[in-house]
Structure 1
Amino acid sequence: MLLWLILIIPGSSTGQQNNLHLTRKYKVGDVYRYRMTTNVVHNDKWQSTIIAVCELKVVLDSNKIPYDEIKWISKKVIKAKDSTEYPEEIKNTSPYRISLHPDGKLDIPPIQESGMTGEITDLNTFFVAISPKLGIGQLHKPHDNFTKPENVKGNFANGKDILKGEDCLEVTAVLQRSTRDQAVVQTDFMPPSVPCLQYLSQEMTKPVAGETINNFQMVRVSANDKVNLFYGSEKFNINSTISSKDGKLQSAYMTNTLFLTLKLNCEKDYTGCQHTMPFTIDRKISLVLLP
């Protein structure tokens, strides 16, 4: 009888693993922190490493829906010749809320400090990758996958140094593997098969990276009332490790690659640009739940 029990228990455990439910289960009052480390490379040359820490606290909104209230704690930028911390940017960034609850929202808050745009939007992207809208509730066993029927459009303009910022991606999530304690989900954000942006200028209809459709465009402030124009192909993937118990994100890793054309010092109608050049951006970002 004892041997029979020993043999049958692992079978029961495996059955539980094959019926995962990775939706987030919140505990009001729970407080935890993440460290996000971003390595930035432009045209194959390392530019910086950015280390930022945020604190999340689980709260309820007026409709009793649980949210993570996010407060940024610190930010440090390391470059070849120096490193700088940004206490004023941290101080001036008000706490804001996002939620993985099916009835919650993952809206990007108003950007109060332009220097925090990357941290806020990247953290948001990590959560979007494991959200109900991208099919996390439909991944129950290894190799289950979900492709969002509609393309995902993003707007990362901040009203300050980024005057316009848009991308459009096709998204697929796959449950790679799972154990009793955790699951690994890969979410791929890829250029779509047909155009899905309203391009800012006609020349942007010509693909920058082979035949891949341009799915990224950005306008940044330049000197003397001019603007810089970036456009081309963007793709990224995120590998997320999630607690099987409560759906909390334990760690994640993002690889983000952009093949762009950069037009410098253009008029505000994107004409009369002084220089045009190819421009690549490679970013590798890790997110770790701190003990």
Structure 2
Amino acid sequence: MMRSRAMYALLFASTVVVAQTAAPAGGSLKRHYQEGQTLTYRMTAVNDGWRYTAEASGVTKKTPAGAFVEEFRWTGMTSDGKQLALSPAMAAFRQTVSLDPSWMPGGPSLANADSKMVGPITDLFTFYVDLWLINKIGFLHRAGDHFHVPNPQPASWADGTRVILGKDHIDFDLNIQSVHEASHTAVVLVRHVPPAHPNLEFPAEWMKAPVVDTPNNWVEVTRTDDGKYEAAAGKETFDVTLTVSTEDGRILSGVMENPVITSGRLCDDAALTKCGPAQPQIIRRHIEIVLER
């Protein structure tokens, strides 16, 4: 669920960038596509103790509108060291991403995706859209260049049944960390950070107190099977570091660090006033991708 929240925040940020910049852009990290080009990524991850790997193979295609896209199919996955068999629907699933600034990102349809594949699918989307944002802006070229993309709208994952309230709010800080002429690579860092004043409403006063060093930008209230309420607030961030080829703009490797630091209570009432003691929790996700060929 956490990854789908970030996906919708990324989509909203992309519309902000479109409104602020002329299209198409590009820059020194612009992707130089060749129709029919193939590439394969291997992803390794630790998600709150769960370890998995996944592989995706893609081919470059050209849309009727003239934009280049990469169509990926997921070819394998392991879970805690054991090989998983993909369902027929998952084997037929295709995910379209692109670094072409003339193309508008769209979130992948997850209706036919295996539940364990939702994380890899949305993480690949995050890696691509983060670099797409830099290409769309088009004026980040040198080491030290950066641009902040404010996001005025929080993302929600409440379902109205079990998840009564679920929202987070993040901005995007785009950075060129280094450019290496000898190896024809650049390293970029996209930080998904809490806004100075998150646009969130907290249902209880105790949830407003910052859990760490910034105002809370994450809140969730769920109803338990026995009629109680699990409520928590805290800070969520993403740091995405990408090594990019300056020759053709391909993502050579990427690392994502996604911690969520929360303080939660188990409550007897919907107003969250009759609650037990605060319980701190840290959820950590570490995701890596490498271009294998």
Judge same fold: TM > 0.5, yes or no: yes
Aligned residue among 198, 216, 219 for 2:218: 216
RMSD: 3.6
Larger Rg: 1
SS at match of 1:26: coil
Alignment of 1:168-247 (within 5 A): 168-180=169-181, 181-199=184-202, 201-203=203-205, 205-218=207-220, 223=225, 229-247=231-249
Q: In the aligned structure 2, how far is the partner of 1:242 from the partner of 1:87?
A: 30
1:160–1:68 Cα change, 3 Å: farther
SS at match of 1:197: coil
Q: In the aligned structure 2, how far is the partner of 1:234 from the partner of 1:275?
A: 22
Q: In the aligned structure 1, how far is the partner of 2:200 from the partner of 2:92?
A: 30
Say if 1:190 and 1:236, in contact at 8 Å, map to a contact too.
yes
Alignment: residue pair count: 264
Question: How many Å apart are 1:272 and its aligned residue?
Answer: 8.0
SS at match of 1:138: coil
Q: In the aligned structure 2, how far is the partner of 1:86 from the partner of 1:274?
A: 43
Say if 1:152 and 1:171, in contact at 8 Å, map to a contact too.
no
5+ residue gaps, structure 1 = 1-18, 42-46
Corresponding residue of 1:48: 50
Q: In the aligned structure 2, how far is the partner of 1:175 from the partner of 1:221?
A: 43
Question: How many Å apart are 1:140 and its aligned residue?
Answer: 1.3
SS at match of 1:139: coil
SS at match of 2:169: strand
1:218–1:250 Cα change, 3 Å: farther
Question: How many Å apart are 1:75 and its aligned residue?
Answer: 1.6
1:209–1:276 Cα change, 3 Å: closer
1:137–1:28 Cα change, 3 Å: same
Question: How many Å apart are 1:89 and its aligned residue?
Answer: 8.2
Aligned residue among 38, 42, 60 for 1:31: 38
Q: In the aligned structure 1, how far is the partner of 2:159 from the partner of 2:89?
A: 16
SS at match of 2:72: strand
Alignment of 1:1-291 (within 5 A): 21-41=28-48, 47-78=49-80, 83=82, 85-88=84-87, 91=90, 94-112=93-111, 113-132=114-133, 137-150=138-151, 153-154=154-155, 166-180=167-181, 181-199=184-202, 201-203=203-205, 205-218=207-220, 223=225, 229-262=231-264, 277-291=279-293
1:153–1:288 Cα change, 3 Å: farther
160-169 vs 232-241, greater mean Cα deviation: 160-169
Say if 1:208 and 1:259, in contact at 8 Å, map to a contact too.
no
Question: How many Å apart are 1:74 and its aligned residue?
Answer: 1.4
Q: In the aligned structure 2, how far is the partner of 1:260 from the partner of 1:64?
A: 45
SS at match of 1:25: coil
Say if 2:241 and 2:255, in contact at 8 Å, map to a contact too.
yes
SS at match of 2:128: helix
What is the TM-score normalised by the length of structure 1? Answer: 0.75
1:90–1:136 Cα change, 3 Å: farther
What is the TM-score normalised by the length of structure 2? Answer: 0.74
1:174–1:236 Cα change, 3 Å: same
Amino acid at match of 1:213: P
- Identity among equivalent pairs (%): 27
SS at match of 1:106: coil
1:228–1:84 Cα change, 3 Å: farther
Question: How many Å apart are 1:197 and its aligned residue?
Answer: 3.3
